[in-house]
Amino acid sequence: DTGVSQNPRHKITKRGQNVTFRCDPISEHNRLYWYRQTLGQGPEFLTYFQNEAQLEKSRLLSDRFSAERPKGSFSTLEIQRTEQGDSAMYLCASSARTGFSYEQYFGPGTRLTVT
């Protein structure tokens, strides 16, 4: 069990550029989640997948954000035309049902800085 991995760990980009992040979940987990975390706050839900289906997308997520999970394995999160307000830590988590619990296991995150 290698855990959830995310790449890159850090990304610095100029305003207006597009960025893409990758998340590789724990292999047997069918659910994958994306969260955004800003300094001093808890993670904020962005979207989640069950296998390859995107089941929910936060209303806070603008049209500049898109996520995919082809074949139900790894996932990508793309931000188009980045803005300074997009600077945050982007966290990926995966889970599998254990009884009634969907406890989530998080990756190390991708820290995005938009200059």
Partner 1 sequence: AQKITQTQPGMFVQEKEAVTLDCTYDTSDPSYGLFWYKQPSSGEMIFLIYQGSYDQQNATEGRYSLNFQKARKSANLVISASQLGDSAMYFCAMSLQNTNAGKSTFGDGTTLTVKP
Residues that bind partner 1 in the complex, under the rule CB under 8 A: 31, 33, 35, 40-45, 48, 50, 55-56, 89, 91, 93, 95, 99-109, 111
CA 72 – CA 114 distance, rounded (Å): 30
CA 103 – CA 101 distance, rounded (Å): 6
Contact 107, 6 (CB under 8 A): yes
Dihedral angle over CA of 23, 115, 80, 76, nearest 10: 0
Query: Looking at beta carbons only, is 29 or 80 nearer to partner 1?
Result: 29
Q: How far is the CB of 106 from partner 1 (least distance, A)?
A: 4
Query: Looking at beta carbons only, is 18 or 55 nearer to partner 1?
Result: 55
CA 94 – CA 17 distance, rounded (Å): 28
Q: How far is the CB of 57 from partner 1 (least distance, A)?
A: 10
Q: How far is the CB of 81 from partner 1 (least distance, A)?
A: 26
Query: Looking at beta carbons only, is 80 or 106 nearer to partner 1?
Result: 106
